[in-house]
Amino acid sequence: MADKIQIDIISDVVCPWCIIGYKYLEKAITELGLEDRVEIEWKPFELNPDMPAEGENLRAHVAKKYGSTPEESIKARANMTKIAGELGFRFDYFDDMKMVNTRDAHILLEYAAEQGKQHALKMRLFEAFFSNRQDVSDKQILARVLESVGLNAAEALAELDNPAARDKVAGEEEYWRSMGVSSVPTIVFNRKSAVTGAHPTEVFKQVLAEIAEQG
């Protein structure tokens, strides 16, 4: 039996290029017929760890953080929306969209991993934020998302008050920072090589093909 290919995807659920990068990767895996050989784990990265509970208007946030003009921001959103649409994912940007704190979402993703539901929850969180105009820092929204993938919302949300669960996420983030990860998505293959950014499918196919041959 061929060796499994372990893929760690360091990302945030409010990172548009993270879902685009994953969709490129997913297409590469499918086109190479490697679905049964790949094991994906999502690892935490907070784009805005100090974001207050009330969040911040996305346009104002992007202008402040990246220095983007309104015109540049509109053009970038249109470009990402087009690319994502071609990959089967819908972006629905709107004027009052907010950038929010994602620490709770990452804690719940760690909980979901223990239940074998991490990937499903990650996809639903991306959809909630980018497609369904939902605040993924809102516990009521998080409860509905948890239930949608078959998780016990009350049990999962209790983890948010568990110091050990919070420390685990902080420790994971620190580990990946110590490994040199400073931007997302960063996709790590077998803990040996990494690709940073949302590269086209052909790039991921080349990487995966080389690893598959070695295995």
pLDDT in tens, 37-73: 999 999 999 999 999 999 999 999 999 999 999 999 9
**DSSP single-letter state for residue 180:** T
Q: What integer best gives the mean pLDDT of the chain?
A: 96
pLDDT of 130 reads 98
Domain boundaries, the chain: 5-210
- Confidence grade of residue 1 (pLDDT, cut at 50, 70, 90): very low
- Confidence grade of residue 176 (pLDDT, cut at 50, 70, 90): very high
- Confidence grade of residue 2 (pLDDT, cut at 50, 70, 90): low
- Confidence grade of residue 214 (pLDDT, cut at 50, 70, 90): confident
Least confident span in 11-25, 29-43, 56-70, 142-156 = 56-70
- Confidence grade of residue 182 (pLDDT, cut at 50, 70, 90): very high
Superfamily of segment(s) 5-210: Glutaredoxin (3.40.30.10)
- Confidence grade of residue 4 (pLDDT, cut at 50, 70, 90): very high
Distance, CA of 130 to CA of 92 (rounded, Å): 6
Q: What is the pTM for the complete model shown?
A: 0.96
Distance, CA of 9 to CA of 89 (rounded, Å): 18
* Per-residue pLDDT tens digits for 79-136: 999 999 999 999 999 999 999 999 999 999 999 999 999 999 999 999 999 999 999 9
Distances (CA, A) of 94 to 40, 73, 81: 31, 12, 12
12 near 47, Cβ under 8 Å?
A: yes
- Confidence grade of residue 31 (pLDDT, cut at 50, 70, 90): very high
Return the SS3 of 99.
strand
Q: What is the mean pLDDT of residues 191-198?
A: 96
Alpha helix segments (H runs only) across the chain: 16-31, 58-66, 70-86, 103-114, 118-126, 139-148, 153-158, 163-178, 201-214
Distance, CA of 83 to CA of 79 (rounded, Å): 6
